[in-house]
Amino acid sequence: MLDHFPFYLALIVLIVLLIMLGNKIKVAYPVLLVLAGLVLSIVPGVPVLKIDPELIFIIFLPPLLYEAAWANSWKELWHWRRVIGSFAFVVVFLTAISVALVANAFIPGFSLALGFLLGGIVSPPDAVSASAILKFVKVPKRMASILEGESLLNDASSLIIFRFAMIAVATGQFVFYKAAFSFGWMVLGGVGIGLLVGLIFIKAHKWLPTDVNMDIVLTLVTPYAMYIAAEELHSSGVLAVVSGGLFLSYHRHSFLIGSSRLRSENVWQSLVFVLNGLVFLLIGLDLTEIVSGLKEDGVSFMQATGYGLLITGVLIVGRMLAAYGAVIVTIVAGRFITVADKSPGFKAPIILGWTGMRGVVSLAAALSIPVIMDNGMRFPQRNLVLYITFVVILVTLVLQGLTLPALIRKVKIQNFNDHFPEEETENRIREALAKDALAFLKESHQDDMNRSLTLQRLANLWELQVKASEGNVYSSEVKTIYLEVLDRQRQLLLNMNRQEQRVDEEVVRKFLHYIDLEEEKLKYK
């Protein structure tokens, strides 16, 4: 480990440089990182890195999922719950079945159980890749919400499939009622454990005399506590982190002070930046070890590549069909029940279908396959499964990742008007905050306003809908009143977000961030 430490530092520097390059040339950084890792893997003298699957599952996966859940909008997730649920569970299950049938028919030595195992590995699209690509192109808010919501849940469903398939391959049998009970416990238990651990940490933040640094440390411990607790009880650690992360994100303003929210946000952004970069670079670096193992399975490099391309084609076609199937189901269902959109159109499914890049979860699942099973026998076709997974990740990232921006620009998806325009939302929020602040000052602190020039200036500035000047001198009394105003504005924003579906939560969070910053500035006035 220490011998290669300079190499690991060099990798982090390389990640930073490649992400800079990606931003410059408008290419999603996961694509560049995987390709760079691929090139490095064939350079003589580069250390061979053996990725421990437990390292990815335990160290990498919980914080990446937690940060994604924290950044997601519960309001949007609930609004699009049907289509998100169908893609995250139904589509993943159907994809796994399709891969199982094709693998069993065309790949020698692949049983249905082994094919189902492969299907569980490669079925979930990667959230980081899609988010990185969508950063460079503008898509309707609903599409981003659906993709983000799907990515939170599809990892859990695919890993559940993977776990059952592992048992079937190892034992050669599949007992339906036991599987159904286990599935129910994994889903319900995972969600319940995540919420319970989240509630415990909320109480810890509230009851313990923590400061900002302690709050940040607790947020770093939280996803690991959720994941490990769920896995120890044989439920879904992924669902525990996702449900707990959403729960804590929704209540973040009730147990974290503004300073903790601001500083933890910076810490988490830096942490996730490094973790994502390392994971995608390691995917490419692992190629040498994966290819070297193909000979043990009696498969040539060309044959294995052909099988990988075949499975990739099944995944791409299957997702496109699922995207259009979801439109048809929505149109039919809209005649009988209330749906989010009765006329979703036939352009958006092109984009939803093409955002099927695979990534870290697929690689981690494949690597977690044991070399030797509990019965002492060698796990069948392990190296071939690993290589097919690598081909799927590489091809979907490069092919779909590089072409998605051009496809989005070509399709020219209409604006669905799910949300007010961002500028209009910002103007409405500024007006509402200014009116509420002025009303509060006049109703509760009129005498203080008459005595304080600073409060008068603040009132004048709010009347012009601008922020208070940094040059003002704030007395302790004015600070107290101003903090009350800011707290009322925060509650107004939270209520507005919960009560109005068309108000974009990202814009609301921007203003909540401004209020936290304003509170932080008061400490130094």
pLDDT of residue 469: 37
**pLDDT category, 415, cuts 50, 70, 90?**
low
Which domains are seen in the chain, by residue range? 5-411 (1.20.1530.20), 422-522 (no CATH)
> Which of 179-193, 199-213, 265-279, 410-424 shows the highest mean pLDDT?
199-213
Given its phi and psi angles, is residue 90 left (phi above 0), alpha (psi -120 to 50 degrees) or beta? alpha
**What's the pLDDT tens digit per position in 485-508?**
888 888 888 888 888 888 888 888
Mean pLDDT (whole number) for 406-435: 73
Dihedral angle sign, alpha carbons of residues 436, 440, 446, 447: negative
**Residue 32 CB neighbour total at 10 angstroms:** 24
Residue 316 carries which side chain, given as an amino acid letter?
I
**What's the pLDDT tens digit per position in 56-71?**
778 888 998 898 888 8
Measured distance CA(27)–CA(20) in Å, rounded:
10
Mean pLDDT of the chain: 81
Question: Is residue 292 predicted with pLDDT exceeding 80?
Answer: no
Question: Is residue 340 predicted with pLDDT exceeding 60?
Answer: no
Q: Which residue has the higher pLDDT, 226 or 379?
A: 226
Q: DSSP code of 297?
A: G
* Widest Cα–Cα separation across the chain: 88
**pLDDT category, 343, cuts 50, 70, 90?**
low
Measured distance CA(126)–CA(152) in Å, rounded:
10
Percent of the chain with pLDDT over 90: 16
Question: Is residue 370 predicted with pLDDT exceeding 50?
Answer: yes
Question: Phi/psi of residue 194, each to 5°?
Answer: -60, -45
pLDDT of residue 136: 66
Q: Which two tokens stand for residue 3?
A: 């011998």
- The distance from CA 21 to its chain's CA centroid, rounded to whole angstroms, is 23
Q: How far is CA 262 from CA 141, 267, 453, 503, in A?
A: 25, 9, 30, 23
> In 3D, which of 187, 88, 96 has the Cα closest to residue 146?
88
Q: Which two tokens stand for residue 360?
A: 């870290």
Mean pLDDT (whole number) for 505-524: 80
Buried b (16+ CB within 10 A) or exposed e, 207-222: eeebebeebbebbeeb
**Residue 195 CB neighbour total at 10 angstroms:** 17
Given its phi and psi angles, is residue 339 left (phi above 0), alpha (psi -120 to 50 degrees) or beta? beta
Question: Phi/psi of residue 136, each to 5°?
Answer: -95, -10
Q: Which two tokens stand for residue 370?
A: 């044991």
Q: Which two tokens stand for residue 213?
A: 């640094």
Q: How far is CA 242 from CA 1, 188, 203, 239, 266, in A?
A: 32, 13, 19, 5, 21
**pLDDT category, 200, cuts 50, 70, 90?**
very high
Measured distance CA(96)–CA(80) in Å, rounded:
23
DSSP line for 35-84: HHHHHHHTSTTPPPP---HHIIIIIIHHHHHHHHHHHS-HHHHHHTHHHH
pLDDT of residue 342: 65
Q: Which residue has the higher pLDDT, 451 or 467?
A: 451
Measured distance CA(387)–CA(369) in Å, rounded:
13
Q: Which two tokens stand for residue 478?
A: 């004015």
Residue 398 carries which side chain, given as an amino acid letter?
V
**pLDDT category, 351, cuts 50, 70, 90?**
confident
Burial class of residue 375, CB neighbours in 10 A (0-12, 13-18, 19+): exposed
3-class SS letters over 362-429: HHHHHHCCCCECCCCCECCCHHHHHHHHHHHHHHHHHHHHHHHHHHHHHHCCCCCCCCCCHHHHHHHH
Q: Which two tokens stand for residue 196?
A: 């319970």
Note the pTM of the prediction, 2 decimals: 0.77
| Angle, helix 382-395 to helix 360-367, in steps of 10 degrees | 170
Percent of the chain with pLDDT over 70: 86
Q: Is-contact 248 222, C-beta < 8 A? A: yes
> In 3D, which of 479, 399, 403, 422 has the Cα closest to residue 445?
479
**pLDDT category, 339, cuts 50, 70, 90?**
low
Measured distance CA(29)–CA(18) in Å, rounded:
7
Measured distance CA(486)–CA(515) in Å, rounded:
6
Question: Phi/psi of residue 372, each to 5°?
Answer: -120, 130
